[in-house]
Amino acid sequence: MTGIKSSLHLIHARLENLERQNRRLKQGMILLMSLGGALCFMGQSPAVEKSISAERIMAVRPDGGERAVLMATSLSLLDKNGIPRAMLSHDESGSAISFHDEQRNAVGLIRVDDLGPQLSFYDRNGRVRVVLDLHGEESLLTFFDESERGRVALGLDANQAGLLIRDATEQNRAYLGYDATGTHLSLSDEGGQEVYTKP
């Protein structure tokens, strides 16, 4: 019997030892799984889309009012009343930035196309009044009347500079210029005929 008792005692001791090891193994596995899961989640950030596809994207105020609208070829910035006040646009002829008043009339325009940049200013009725054109080596500043007729132009390029004054029918009336040959002055009548020229 002593042999059986000692065998039972030995089996019982081994069983307790196995249970203790099993508990430690389970605790270790739980700890390792917890650490592994935490490491996985710590290294991850929310998924970020690399592109957004939409025909129109709006930025809105907290009250829901539109402040900016992005479309395929334009970006419009709106005032608190939802009126477009500035717009960046592009088409096959060039790119432009335009500015508008409360009545949606254009007040300023910066445009760049194949010929070069152009800066335009408009009156309160949306009529063009001043335009500055830069085309290569040439620059031209033109002032327009309330009927949008070019009345005064100041031009400059690498070889000459000139001032041209026109009447309300857009007939050239006076020209003052300078080039490599000297200074030139020309005055014309209502019909466009020169009445005075120097030299």
DSSP conformation letters of 64-80: S-EEEEEETTEEEEE-T
Sign of the C-alpha dihedral, residues 19, 23, 28, 33? positive
pLDDT of 102 strictly over 60:
yes
pLDDT classification of 192: cutoffs 50, 70, 90:
confident
Q: Identify the pLDDT of residue 12.
A: 58
Across 139-159, average pLDDT:
95
pLDDT of 86 strictly over 90:
yes
Q: Give pLDDT tens digits for 15-58.
A: 666 666 666 666 666 666 666 566 556 655 566 677 888 889 88
Q: Identify the pLDDT of residue 51.
A: 80
pLDDT classification of 191: cutoffs 50, 70, 90:
confident
Nearest to 165 by CA among 181, 156, 176, 178: 176
User: What are 99's strand-pairing partners?
Assistant: 86, 108
User: What are 185's strand-pairing partners?
Assistant: 176, 198
Q: Identify the pLDDT of residue 22.
A: 64
- Higher model confidence: residue 1 or residue 57? 57
C-alpha dist (Å) from residue 94 to 97, 115, 146:
11, 10, 27
80 vs 69: CA distance, rounded Å: 13
Q: Give pLDDT tens digits for 157-185.
A: 989 999 999 999 989 999 999 999 999 99
Copy the structure tokens of residue 21: 């090891």
Q: Identify the pLDDT of residue 35.
A: 60
